[in-house]
Chains A and B, each alone.
Chain A
Amino acid sequence: MAPDLRVRLGSTELPNPVLTASGCASSGRELAQFIDVSKIGAVVTKSVMLAPRAGRPTPRMAETNSGMLNSIGLQGPGIDAFLQRDLPWLLSRGARAVVSIAGSTVDEYAELATRLSDAAGVTALEVNISCPNVEHRGQVFACDPVDAGAVIEAVRARARHDLPVFAKLSPDVTDIVQIARSCVSAGADGLSMINTLLGMVIDTETMRPVLAGLTGGLSGPAIRPIAVRCIWQVRAALPDVPIIGMGGVMTGRDALELILAGASMVSVGTAIFHDPSACARIARELDEELARRGVKRVSEIVGAAHEARAAASQGRVARMERT
């Protein structure tokens, strides 16, 4: 029998746990040329801000071994255009929309939460807190437990009660569990991890940094072990909090690895640049991986790596049942 890939996100049932990662699928429209966006778990949209934003100068990217750096600077049209154009399009295609929001002050995040709660059809909010806090000398919200908590508290207070709020964590911190706890205490319904890691590439011909913005976020399979470690640590500390895992997922096997570490859902980012049909392919491959192991429901194996012996024997039982 085919494994059951369905997962719940708040009050919405997703057909499978494979989502796009914010900033790697825009608002889904371009991907729809390659895959049916209604058949993947959800489209997590590019982080939207209140006002239009031009982003950082080019060059904005550099390829690295099994990864890439990006410094887009949250270019986007702002919440008005998003609500007018992008959200209705996603909903018209039958896709589930997880909307990522970003701001420079706590109030901006709160305002975005209000605007998106008034709009019908949003499945969940993902709060990108890897942004500089202009009221705290540009300190990144995600790197400070108090600031991170303040954003989540404000968003939770303004978001419609049935709209799940996920805090997206940065791995560039000493203790990710501390930030996770702070966000959950502030009311986060779930956690997304990981955002990119800050990196730099220098062109040895020009002897200058490649990116115009000097530093950029590292993503892709190069960071997957870090994602697995972060998910593992947070799952161990907060076993009841749902996690959207991401970081270097290229295949169904990789998605399974993050699920075993504790993710209930998996976002796919950089892999989309390599293969625009990656999300659909990974959902299919995950299905095969689970079937091969005799797993009946994906929800059964979330965090299973924490109980290594139990999982192994369960797998054996399941296989025996099949034969």
Chain B
Amino acid sequence: MTAGEHESESGPLQVRGTVLTVRQVDAYYAMTIVAPGIAARFKPGQFVAVAVGGPDTSMLLRRAFSIHDVRPDHGGTVEFVFAAAGRGTRWLAERKARDVLDLTGPLGRPFPVPRDPVSCLLVGGGYGSAPLFALASRLRQRRCSVDFLLGAASGDRVFGALTARRSGRSATITTVDGSLGVRGIVTDMLGQVIHEARTDVIYACGPMGMLRQVTALARRYDIPVQVAVEESMACGIGVCMTCVLPVVGTDGITKMVRSCVDGPVFRGEQVRWDEVGTIPFDAFGAPGWEPKMRRIPARPAADEARRHGHGA
């Protein structure tokens, strides 16, 4: 541990962790690392940020990955699932057992879980389903029922289809090419699944486009939805301000908030999806912004979500 000298009780840690395994799982890689403190503090929805490239690397920025699973063996291990997309993740895919990696975590806010035993629908796109299984276990501990709706471009990119089928009350799979489950995208099936499962709460993780559509449909059905977003991050710990997106607070004010520390989990209806990638004119501190614009009435959907007991 490099910075264990000054750790707080529940905050993130910086750990030098030994790689236990790297294995290929369909189109993805799953890496398990010994990281005792991170495993102990983890709550579903949180992520780790991993330094890549070794000593004197030219890749300065850490790569963020949702934590898929933690286990108590070896004092505590952390597993994440990733696509070898660019040069940093390709480097990670080539790691071997006993290599040592520097990781920070657990980072970000976890998924809030309901107080009551309600019906939960977990929606995942691609590797976005990775954090949903730990969430499912936690929800089941709370005697919630769990249904899965997972999708991707093709069958090999639907992460965890088998686990979802084994562990979920129901599991619906969609693929764009029809190679697994229903041909189409998750939002094609969302309405039907909500009806059949009598869904009370939706949790979603996946590409931003999917999260936006899931939020829109959830609103139509008047169901609260918690989403885990993916914005590009330079630090992952809240110091750089690269990862912001426009989010409406409970006070009705839109702020550019950091998805690494104020997220990655947000109530779907709080995110101003149409304005992601812009600075909305009425955002706190936007050009021409005036304090008098502070009071914009809170959206009805937000109140609805609070009534369901989902205030994060």
Contact = CB atoms under 8 A, between A and B. Distances in A.
Real binding pair: yes
Interface string A49-90: 001111111111101011110101001111000000000000
Contacts of A36: 5-6
Contacts of A297: none
Contacts of B245: 58
Given A26-B239, A66-B60, A34 B3 contact: yes
A33 B59 contact: no
Contacts of B239: 24-26, 30-31, 272-273, 276
Interface stretch (B8-16, B176-184, B194-202): B8-16
Given A58-B245, A63-B60, A273 B240 contact: yes
B14 A55 contact: no
Contacts of B104: 34, 276
Nearest to B238: A30
B75 interface: no
Contact of B242 (A33, A61, A275): A61
Interface string B274-299: 00111100011111010000000000
Nearest to A58: B277
Centre residue among A54, A66, A78 by max chain B CB count within 10 A: A54
Contacts of B58: 65-66
Looking at chain A, what size class is its interface with the partner chain? 35 or more
A220 interface: yes
Given A57-B279, A61-B234, A72 B240 contact: yes
Interface in B82-129: 102, 104
Contacts of B261: 30
Contacts of B283: 54
A137 interface: no
Contacts of B7: 33
Interface string B47-58: 000010000001
Given A57-B278, A63-B59, A277 B242 contact: no
A36 B240 CA distance: 19
A220 B242 CA distance: 16
Nearest to A51: B285
Interface residues of B, number: 43
A265 interface: no
Interface string A217-260: 00011000000000000000000000000000000000000000
A273 B11 contact: no
Contacts of B12: 33-34
Interface string B238-271: 1111111100000000011000010000000000
Centre residue among A25, A36, A66, A273 by max chain B CB count within 10 A: A273
A60 B244 contact: yes
A32 B59 CA distance: 24
Interface string A3-34: 00000000000000000000111100011111
B232 interface: yes
Nearest to A65: B58
A67 B3 contact: no
Contacts of A77: 285
B279 A32 contact: no
Contacts of B62: 273-274
Nearest to B286: A54
A268 to B, nearest CB: 12
A201 interface: no
A93 to B, nearest CB: 11
Centre residue among B11, B61, B241 by max chain A CB count within 10 A: B241
A63 B61 contact: yes
B167 to A, nearest CB: 34
Contacts of A142: none
B6 A68 contact: no
A272 B240 CA distance: 10
A192 interface: no
A313 to B, nearest CB: 32
A274 B51 contact: yes
Given A57-B279, A68-B61, A23 B240 contact: yes
Contacts of A70: 234, 240, 242
B231 interface: yes
Contacts of B60: 63, 66-68, 220-221, 270-271, 273-274
Nearest to A66: B58
A299 B12 CA distance: 36
Contacts of A281: 2
A131 interface: no
Interface string A272-302: 1111110011000000000000000000000
B279 A55 contact: yes
A68 to B, nearest CB: 6
B232 A277 contact: no
B130 to A, nearest CB: 23
B284 A52 contact: yes
B30 interface: no
A221 B283 CA distance: 35
Interface in B194-212: none
A212 interface: yes
14 contacts: A23-B241, A30-B261, A34-B6, A55-B285, A57-B279, A61-B61, A61-B234, A61-B240, A70-B240, A75-B241, A272-B235, A273-B62, A274-B61, A275-B14
6 closest residue pairs by CB, A with B: A52-B285, A277-B3, A54-B285, A61-B242, A30-B238, A33-B11
Given A55-B256, A275-B14, 17 more contacts: A26-B241, A34-B12, A35-B5, A54-B283, A54-B284, A54-B289, A55-B241, A55-B244, A58-B244, A68-B61, A75-B241, A75-B244, A77-B285, A212-B277, A270-B60, A273-B60, A276-B237
